[in-house]
Amino acid sequence: MNRCLGIIKKLLRLTLIISPLLLPALALADTAVSTDPVAGGGLETITVKPNADGSQTYSVNIQIIILMTVLTLLPAILLMMTSFTRIIIVLGFIRQAMGTHQTPSNQVLLGLSLFLTMFVMAPVIDRINSEALQPYMKDEIQIQDAILKARPAVTDFMLAQTRESDLELFVSLAGIEEVKSLDDVPFTVLIPAFVTSELKTAFQIGFIIFLPFLVIDLVVACTLMSMGMMMLSPMIISLPFKIMLFVLVDGWSLVIGTLAASFNFG
C-alpha cells in the first residue's frame, strides 16, 4: 500500500515534466512581463528571467499554469504513453468472454487497470524520478534539462513494446526518409506506433482468452439441442460452468500475471 501511495505521489509530480513531451515547443519571450501595481502594492504574475548561459528560468506562476494545463492532458498521457490501453482492453475481453455483462463493474476494471498500470510503469517512474525529477526539485537543473532527461525513460519503454512494422509504417507516413537511430524517432511518430502495437497485442491476448469459454458455449449448446431444449438459452447454462472453470484455474491471477509479464521491459 505504501508503495502504491508513493507511486501516486511521483505520478503527480511527474506530470509537469512528462507532459511537455507531447506538446510542441513554445516560443516564450526573453523579457519579463508583469502586471501594473495596484493600490496597496502589486505582485508580478509572469516572469521570464534570462540566464547567463542563454537559457530561461520561468517564474513559479508560469509553472503552476503549465501544471494546471497538464492536468487536462492526464487522460491522454495515461492512454497513449503507458500500459493502460493493453490492460483495460484485455480485462474487458475477459468480462465479455465470460458473459457476466456488468460484473466486474466498469469502476472495478478501471481501478484494477490503473493500479496494475502503476505497477508495470514503476521502473519507468523510478528512473524519471532519479534522473530528472529529483535534480529539478533540488534546483540542480532547469525544466528544459529535466524534460530532456525524462524523455529516454519513456521512449525506451514505448520502443520495447512497439513492433518494427508499426514503427516503419508511421515513419513512412510521416515522410521521414531515414532514421539513424531509434532515439531520433519523434514522439509524433512513436506514440501512434506504440498505441497500434498495444491494440494488436491486446486483441491477440483477448483471442486466446476467448477460446476456452467458446468451447464451453459450444458444448452446452450442442447438449441442449441434442436434448431438444432449443428454447432454453445456452448462456444461462454455460455461465455457471465458465465461472467455475475460471475460479478453479485461478483465472484472475493467471491473467494479471500474464499481463504484467507481457511488458518485457527490464
pLDDT at position 27 is 36
Burial class (CB in 10 A: 0-12, 13-18, 19+), 175: exposed
Can you read off the three cell numbers belonging to residue 227?
436434448
Backbone angles phi, psi at 5, to 5 degrees: -65, -40
Q: pLDDT value at position 31?
A: 38
Report pLDDT for 2: 55
Q: Output the pLDDT for position 35.
A: 41
Residues of the chain with pLDDT under 70: 1-63, 78, 265-266
Task: Classify residue 246 as left (phi > 0), alpha (psi -120 to 50) or beta.
Answer: alpha
pLDDT recorded at residue 88: 92
SS3 57: strand
So what's the pLDDT on residue 34? 40
Please tell me the pTM assigned to this model: 0.71
Give the end-to-end CA distance of the chain in Å, rounded to a whole number: 23
pLDDT attached to residue 262: 85
Contact assessment for residue 142 and residue 152, using Cβ atoms and an 8 Å cutoff? no
Which CA distances in Å does 226 have to 85, 215, 222? 42, 17, 6
The answer to whether 118 touches 11, Cβ cutoff 8 Å, is: yes
Name every residue whose Cβ is closer than 8 Å to that of residue 206 and which is 6 or more positions away in sequence.
89, 90, 93, 97
The DSSP element (H or E) to which 189 belongs, if any, is helix 187-226
Please check whether residue 97 is in contact with residue 213, taking contact to mean a CB–CB distance below 8 angstroms: yes
Distances (CA, A) of 134 to 12, 59, 68, 143: 14, 19, 21, 11
Round to whole Å and give the CA distance between 77 and 18.
9
C-alpha distances in Å from residue 202, one per residue of 23, 113, 245: 27, 13, 22
Taking the C-alpha atoms of residue 43 and residue 109, their distance in angstroms, rounded to an integer, is: 47
pLDDT at 89: 92
CA–CA gap between residue 75 and residue 92 (Å, rounded)? 18
Strands (E), the chain: 48-50, 56-58
Q: How many CB atoms lie within 10 A of CB 205?
A: 19
pLDDT at position 234 is 75
The fraction of the chain above a pLDDT of 70, given in percent, is: 75
**192: Cα separation from own chain's centroid:** 13
Identity of residue 140: E
Between CA 251 and CA 125 the distance in angstroms is 29
Classify residue 133 by burial, with Cβ atoms within 10 Å: 0-12, 13-18, 19+. Answer: buried
Nearest to 112, CA basis, from 263, 235, 259: 259
